[in-house]
Amino acid sequence: MTSHATAPRSLRTRLTDTTIRVFERTIPDPFVLAVFLTFLIAVGAAIWGPQATAANIVSGWYKGFFSIFTFALQITLVLVLGHALAHAPVIQRLFTRLIRLARTPAQAGALIFVSVAVTSFFNWGFGLVMSALLAREIAKRMHVDFAWIVAAGFSGWVVWAGGLSSSIVLAQSTAGSPMNVVEKVTGQVLGLGGMVFAPFNLVPNLVMVLVIPVVLAVLRPRGDSVIALDIAKHPDPILDSVPQGPWTFAQRLEYSWLGSALMGAVGVLVMVFAYLGQVPFAGVNAVILVMFTAGIVLHRYPLAYANAVKNAARQSGSMMLQYPLYGGLMGIMEATGLPGVIAHAFVAISNAHTLPFWSYVCSLVVTFLIPSGGGHWAVQGPFVIPAAVTLHASLPGTTMAVAMGEQVSNMLQPFWAAPVVAMAGVGVQRVLGFTFATFLVGAVVYGASLLLLL
């Protein structure tokens, strides 16, 4: 009886432990990986890049290193403001009520995966933040492997690039956008209905929502394999308390609800004028403003919000050096034309039906080199869209194929896992050991959809 009871666990444990061991031994810290990947790409560009010269490689790296600063600050603010928002008292109470719906670790894994998937479909920024913070709340209330529950949340992010806030989708549906490659090549502006709400995108998303919670439940560490959250090493931020006694003039301003109300009103006015079409309101900046407005209002007074942001900023240190390095890497790629070589190799073996699939496979590879959705599209889009026109392939399908490859490979890309693990306080290698399963399932599900439903 003992043998029968332990056999399934033994198989599961071997699979999980082997995957984690491989990632822990082969994937270094994300910053170290970015350093060596930079030199690897530089060498590859020097060998195969059609415009590769020493000057192009160096100048491309230099330009990319500094050109990503705006994006890096935006993403850091998404992380910091989302972290502060999630620690507002009302949001903490909401998390507590949501977590109570799960009575077992398997239910908790399914709950966080579905919650993040639904949220990320509408807004990738809040979904990314939610995956880490909800995982922390679950780990504080339930005996569960911390890296596993973080991975369950991050896995829910696998739908983001096919959602309504996808940088690739928004660019192709916005007339005059400098990133709208489809419009530049064909004069067409693609609609959301043909991309986000098409069956070839919605069906695989639904399959992932149904399948991944089961896969995560199978992979869940048990017994001695569980490594729980060490709250002593990664404590929660200290909540502010209103000082007692007579207040000074400065304290009356710091703890006044009026300051939060005034800034909240500004944010609401921007959204109102944006709704009326008088203020541009889209993309990352829109996410940041919504988080800022909600955060300062829900923290009730300005000083509480300022202190919440300070506590959150401590989690962003691991990102500050990584983003410029990835920007330099992207600069090398763009300056030397190396992604075009990769893309052309896939296009050469395609026809009208298979081009989206091979574009998807190409995207899976390119994402490891250029993890930013916008930067990725800027490199791959100019090659796959002309190919789609030449082969009379589906333009929405080819566009979404690139987005699908981006979101699936993100499950193994430290670039996006870094802010999640920074917020959660856990090693990225162990988390990727679990999301590897999400990558495998997603690679098959989305690839099959492009072949069968397009």
Listed residue (413, 404, 388, 417) closest to 444, CA to CA = 404
Mean pLDDT of 158-182: 84
How high is the pLDDT of residue 40?
87
Question: Own/partner pairs for 172-176, CB < 8 Å, 24+ apart?
Answer: 172/399, 174/282
Query: In the chain, what's the furthest Cα-to-Cα distance?
Result: 77
Q: Report the pLDDT value the prediction gives residue 211, as an integer from 0 to 100.
A: 97
**DSSP label at 158?**
G
Say whether pLDDT at 7 is over 50.
no
HEC states along 164-208? CCCHHHHHHCCCCCCCCHHHHHHCCCCCHHHHCCCHHHHHHHHHH
Would you place residue 122 in the very low, low, confident or very high pLDDT band (cuts 50, 70, 90)?
confident
> What is the band of 6 on the pLDDT scale with cuts at 50, 70, 90?
very low
Q: Which of 321-325, 387-391, 449-453 has the lowest mean pLDDT?
A: 321-325
Q: Give the Cα separation of 336 and 44 in Å (integer).
A: 10
What pLDDT does residue 2 have?
41
pLDDT (0 to 100) of residue 1: 40
Single-letter amino acid code for the residue at 142: M
The answer to whether residue 134 scores a pLDDT higher than 70 is yes
3-state helix, strand and coil shares in percent for the chain, rounded to the nearest 5:
80, 0, 20
Answer left, alpha or beta for residue 38, where phi above 0 means left and psi between -120 and 50 means alpha. Answer: alpha
Distance CA 445, CA 194 (A): 19
Taking 80 as the threshold, does the pLDDT of residue 26 lie above it? no
Q: Which residue has the higher pLDDT, 2 or 109?
A: 109
Across the chain, mean pLDDT equals 83
pLDDT average, residue stretch 420-424: 71
The pLDDT assigned to 5 comes to 44
Of 205-209, 260-264, 378-382, the range with the highest mean pLDDT is: 205-209
pLDDT at res. 4: 44
What pLDDT shows up at residue 396? 96
pLDDT above 60 for 257? yes
pLDDT score at 377 = 84
pLDDT surpasses 80 at 230:
no
Mean pLDDT of all residues in 141-150: 90
Q: Does position 386 have pLDDT exceeding 70, yes or no?
A: yes
For residues 424 and 235, give the distance between their C-alpha atoms in angstroms, rounded to a whole number: 10
Nearest Cα neighbor of 105 from 25, 264, 223 is 223
pTM over 0.85: no
Task: Tell me the one-letter amino acid at 338.
Answer: L
Mean pLDDT, range 205-217, rounded to an integer:
96
What angle do the packed helices 54-67 and 30-48 form, to 10 degrees? 140
Mean pLDDT, rounded, for 111-136: 87
Confirm if 88 and 299 have CB atoms less than 8 A apart.
yes
Least confident of 10-14, 292-296, 375-379: 10-14
Over the stretch 170-181, which tens digit does the pLDDT of each residue have?
888 878 877 788
Q: What confidence tens digit (pLDDT) does each residue in 51-109 have?
A: 989 999 999 999 988 887 877 787 778 778 877 887 888 888 888 888 888 889 999 99
Q: What is the pLDDT of residue 290?
A: 87
Average pLDDT rounded to a whole number, residues 410-426: 75
Q: Which of 210, 183, 204, 208 is nearest to 357 (CA)?
A: 204
**How many CB atoms within 10 Å of residue 134?**
26
pLDDT at 20: 64
Distances from the Cα of 295 to the Cα of 46, 73, 90, 277, 307, angstroms: 47, 18, 10, 25, 12
Confidence of residue 205 (pLDDT cuts 50, 70, 90): very high
275-306 residue pLDDT tens:
888 888 766 678 788 889 999 999 988 988 99
